[in-house]
Amino acid sequence: MEKFELDILGCGSATPTTLHNPSSQVLNVRDKLFMIDCGEGTQLQFRRNKLRFGRLNHIFISHLHGDHCFGLIGLISTLALLGRTGDLTIYSVAGLETVLRPEIDFFCKDNPFKVKIETFDPKKSEVIYDDRSVSVKTIPLKHRVPCAGFIFHEKQKEPHLIADMIKFYNIPLKELAKIKQGADFVTDEGKVVPYTHLTTPAEPARSYAYCSDTAYSEKVVPVIEGADLLYHEATFADSDAARAKETGHSTARQAAQIAKLANVKKLMLGHFSARYPDNQVLLDEAREIFPETILANEGLREKL
């Protein structure tokens, strides 16, 4: 099975600690790297995770709070020092161009590659990226500033040909593509061989949903329905639920409730407040509602 795996580079909240870096992660889809948020220290953790800078072409920024985007200019500068020439595209809510472009012009004025900034409307759920392997759709979130999450849908692959059957019927090479697309094969004698006899189903397409900073909102449920993995912020424990509501964040229990309502296969908690020296309390609270819950942590690589 081809790669569809998540690397956690940072899963803390606004204040960096010795336990966690600010938000950032990378989704590897068939050896193409997609970065989601880029807090301070992201490029260092990128190296620690032994990821390849040359395979990173797209970055998705959920919102313009510093712990989700302060790492961008450092990463761009490093990519220039490494001799990058291909374009880098950053997807963000409106405003990033105003903030980031002057930094690029000042610190990276001789950049050998273009940094393109594409904006999206955080109030809409719409496809903002699409290629042969994956599509990326926004998830409107409820925060103090315009904010959106992202859901990555892997494209369904074609069924696998059964080599022995292809050989048995002596099927010409030119017919194989049609069979993989669902066409039956007709022999020279006129016998119809159903494509289901010549192929086996491909592995199910996978999906990953990222819900960045957000207060509890059931509006995300239809968008993330059935995701293989949901990363949902869990900044606070239940004892700090009032603070979560005040700041536009969620508790671990609320994240678990969203996972349950959306029928996702697995929940990953992240964006931990610095007030908790041990995130086990968050995990315990979430598992009371949604047992298939794990904690994010720097260096974690989760294979879907």
Residues annotated as catalytic (active site), given as ranges: 67
CA gap 179, 32 in Å, rounded = 28
Any idea what the Cα angle at residue 294 is, between residues 290 and 300, rounded to 5°?
160
